[in-house]
Chain A
Amino acid sequence: MTALLSVEGLAAGYGGALAVRGLDFAVAEGSIAVLVGANGAGKTTTVQVIAGALRPSGGTVRFAGEAVTGRDCPVMVERGVTLVPEGRLIFSRMTVEENLKMGAINRRAARNLGRNLERVFTLFPRLAQRRHQFGGSMSGGEQQMLAIARGLMAEPRLMILDEPSLGLAPKIVAEMFGLIRQLNVEGITILLVEQNVRQSLQLADQAFVIEKGRVVLSGDGPTLLDEPFVRTAFLGL
Chain B
Amino acid sequence: MARTLLVVVLALLLFAALATLPLFLKAFYIRVGLSIFLSAGFAVCWWLLAGFTAYYSFGHTAFVGVGAFAAALTLRAVAAAAPGLQLAAGLLAGLVTAAVIAAAIAWPILRLRGHYFTIAMLAVALVLGEAVSAFPVFGGSAGLSLPNIAPSGMRVEAFFYWLALALLAIVMAIAWIISRSRLGYGLAAIREDEDAAQMLGVPTTRFKVVAFVLSGGLTGALGAVYALNLGYITTDSVFRGSLSLEMIVNSLVGGMGSLLGPVIGAAIMTGVTKLVLADLLEYHLAITGLLIVAVVLVAPDGVAGLWRRTRR
User: In the complex, A touching B, CB below 8 Å?
Assistant: no
Which residues of B line the A interface, CB within 8 A? none
